Chain A
């Protein structure tokens, strides 16, 4: 993250525009939230992979029972 963290603010009453660097506290909060999001992405991606694997496994079992692929796909949608 080489870029400086900049904030742009527009005062709706005075029309004043400011473009300034984050304060140290804002930088710390930014990275804290960033880390939370990154951690949640890992969890969500693992859940998505597990769901896809379960679907494939279920489909295979339905096919093994004698269902056609169309019938099996209709059930696991």
Chain B
């Protein structure tokens, strides 16, 4: 029978520029990572890049993350995958961006493809824009079995994942 097993949770009680699940058990078939995030970036959103075994690189030479430009209403990705992960300071404090990632066969040493989708909701109090949903995929450059997984926040606009941002890691088998 298929099982969906809770592995661990991170809930930030103070701002951070990076979160990582480390020493991930190698006993499941796939991983599933869920985030409810909020950034201190001024504006509508921020780029949080997925880090896999400490690296943000993907095979295309770009990174797995994105940002949203409220001026042009254009989602512009940082290359390999376009996932908008978080709400920004324009939103009310209780508004968090949501994201889901499936990491198939994370224990293999082959190239892996990670598929994710994200959503953030409105209407935004500044722009009036509503809900947006994105989906994208990327292949991490590091082909080793995945033992650590998380996000970093190196966007020039925001420096922190804010208190209350929450991350869940599950194992599928």
Q: Which residues of A contact B (CB under 8 A)?
A: 1, 3, 5-15, 19, 22, 26, 29-31, 33-38, 40-41, 44-45, 48-49, 52
Q: Is there an interface contact between B155 and A34, defined as CB atoms closer than 8 Å?
A: yes
**A19 contact set on B, CB distance < 8 A:** 14, 16
Tell me, in angstroms, the Cα distance from A34 to B49 when the chains sit together. Answer: 11
* Chain B: number of interface residues, binned into ranges: 35 or more
In the complex, number of A-B residue pairs with CB atoms less than 8 Å apart: 97
Q: Which residue of B lies closest to A26 (CB)?
A: B18
Partner of B156, one of A5, A6, A34, A44: A34
Q: A22-B18, A48-B72 are known contacts. Are A12 and B156 too (CB-CB below 8 A)?
A: no
Q: Which residues of B contact A (CB under 8 A)?
A: 7-10, 12, 14-25, 40, 47, 49, 56, 63, 67, 69, 71-72, 74, 76, 78, 150, 152, 154-156, 159-160, 169
**B156 contact set on A, CB distance < 8 A:** 34-35, 37-38
Q: A30-B154, A34-B154 are known contacts. Are A14 and B159 too (CB-CB below 8 A)?
A: no
